[in-house]
Amino acid sequence: SQKIEQNSEALNIQEGKTATLTCNYTNYSPAYLQWYRQDPGRGPVFLLLIRENEKEKRKERLKVTFDTTLKQSLFHITASQPADSATYLCALEMEYGNKLVFGAGTILRVKS
Amino acid sequence: DTGVSQDPRHKITKRGQNVTFRCDPISEHNRLYWYRQTLGQGPEFLTYFQNEAQLEKSRLLSDRFSAERPKGSFSTLEIQRTEQGDSAMYLCASSLETTSEFFGPGTRLTVL
């Protein structure tokens, strides 16, 4: 069956450390993988997109890796801040502009 | 504000009643998506439009659900004969063919 799995437990880290979130998928062949941030009671906000032929993408303090052999993406936030506390969603896109298939998300809590 | 807007933000209804939600996408976006999200889960795709054409519907969209985008601008999602299992956040997103999806704030539906 098709599955997208993200860290099931909340991730608690200290301010200034690097947060690493995992997204594993089974029986999908995504052309693109996206990461979104969602705050309580609000819609998801797009952060980064990585293509199947890209290994790594960076944007400011964010870094995403994509390994299509392992069927895994890692999402890193360096120098984390309490304002980074939110739920982070991984989403697969089979072709560009098509619907997104989301994981359940990982709650990140950054403590000062 | 030039983002995606949704109305109402909250709706409480009794089982068996009909409800209608509205989504106004970003003005130049030709693609519009509806998702549903329950607590602790990621958004699940319901349906998507390119301009006024409804191009895909999920199996989640039972015959009690109908969506329209009559002039290729705003969209409505109607749920007839609501059930308690319909309680969720209904999210709308829009995009161009070359951009990621921009989500609205969602409409939270509670069916009593």
> What distances in angstroms separate CA A6 from CA A62, A102, A108, B97, one per listed residue?
17, 10, 12, 28
Q: pLDDT (tens digit, 9 = 90+) per residue, A58-75?
A: 999 999 999 999 999 999
Exposed, middle or buried: residue A14 (CB in 10 Å: 0-12, 13-18, 19+)? exposed
3-state secondary structure of A66: strand
- Answer whether residue B84 shows pLDDT above 70: yes
- CB-based contact A23:A73 (threshold 8 Å): yes
Token pair in block for residue B80: 């007839």
Closest Cα partner for A8 from B42, B91, B90, B45?
A: B42
* SS percent in chain A: helix, strand, coil, step 5: 5, 55, 40
Name the phi and psi angles at B26, rounded to 5: -65, 135
CB interface of B with A, residues 6-35, below 8 Å: 31, 33, 35
CA dist B22 and B11 (Å) reads 12
Q: From the CA atom positions of chain B, what is the Rg in Å?
A: 13
Token pair in block for residue B105: 């704030």
Q: pLDDT (tens digit, 9 = 90+) per residue, A23-56?
A: 999 999 999 999 999 999 999 999 999 999 999 9
Which positions in chain B touch A41 (Cβ < 8 Å)?
A: 105-106, 108
**How close A39 gets to chain B, by Cα (Å)?**
10
Kindly list the residues of chain A whose beta carbon comes within 8 Å of any beta carbon in chain B. Answer: 4, 34, 36, 41-46, 49, 89, 91, 96-97, 99-105
The whole-number pLDDT of residue B1 equals 54
**Average of pLDDT values for A83-98?**
91
**Average of pLDDT values for B67-91?**
96
**How close B18 gets to chain A, by Cα (Å)?**
23
Strand partners, A33: A50, A92
Which of B41, B97, B106 lies closest to A97 in CB terms? B97
User: Average pLDDT, whole number, for chain B?
Assistant: 94
- Which band of pLDDT confidence, cut at 50, 70 and 90, is reported for residue B23? very high
**Smallest CA–CA distance from B58 into chain A, residue:** A99
The whole-number pLDDT of residue B106 equals 97
Q: pLDDT (tens digit, 9 = 90+) per residue, A3-27?
A: 999 987 899 999 999 999 999 999 9
- B68 or B96, which is more confident: B68
Cα B99 to its chain centre, rounded Å, is 19
Which positions in chain B touch A43 (Cβ < 8 Å)?
A: 4, 91, 93, 103-106
- Answer whether residue A86 shows pLDDT above 80: yes
User: Average pLDDT, whole number, for chain A?
Assistant: 94
Three-state secondary structure string covering B53-105: EEEEECCCCCCCEEEECCCCCCEEEEECCCCHHHCEEEEEEEECCCCCCEECC
